[in-house]
Structure 1
């Protein structure tokens, strides 16, 4: 599966199949919340939260690929990510784009 943030894939002609998406809501555990809360006192990267968000992005991307594959897509163009807070202890990552079939 080709994933592209651009509208065109060089050397490929295709027809649009439709919108595809994948999402993941990821939460932390109380220990990580406490340690990361303490880290905010001294500053610096909150590595546990960075890892949680990376896991959520990977999962959302895998789900997008599954959705595109189920539609018979060869690629996804205009790939984008969005994220938001669901609760104070969790965040959602949404991955979306346009599924296309090569012709």
Structure 2
């Protein structure tokens, strides 16, 4: 079975270019979703201290997980608006916007599978 999951909607999401056993009927194009998140000043202070002694910066881990989920949700909404039943070859990208803020971009190919 390929590494796929569903988003809570009926759209199949996969990091693969194809789905074994399924044929792509229609290619609908690239879909994307993004969000820009900023650090909380209080959490930033505590993370700065953690940075000195080492270890995981859990506040940032949670922030980035929430950002990936939001970007993915927006990507799925765009795919649904095109009539897709799957988004394939999903990728994520992170870009620093300013000091303390980052963009998470989720993108993939919207398709209709048979």
TM-score range, shorter chain: over 0.9
How high is the TM-score relative to the length of structure 1?
Answer: 0.96
The runs of 5 or more residues in structure 2 that have no matched partner are 1-10
Runs of 4+ in structure 1 over 2 Å off: none
Query: How much does 1:87 deviate?
Result: 1.0
Aligned position for 2:34? 23
Aligned position for 1:59? 70
**Structure 2 residue 12 is matched with structure 1 residue 2:** yes
Query: How much does 1:52 deviate?
Result: 0.4
The runs of 5 or more residues in structure 1 that have no matched partner are none
Higher relative contact order (CA 8 A, sep 6+): 1
Is the partner of 2:92 in helix, strand or coil? strand
How high is the TM-score relative to the length of structure 2?
Answer: 0.87
Candidates 45, 48, 59, aligned match of 1:37: 48
Instruction: Give the alignment's Cα RMSD to 1 decimal.
Output: 0.8
Number of positions where the alignment pairs a residue of Structure 1 with one of Structure 2: 103
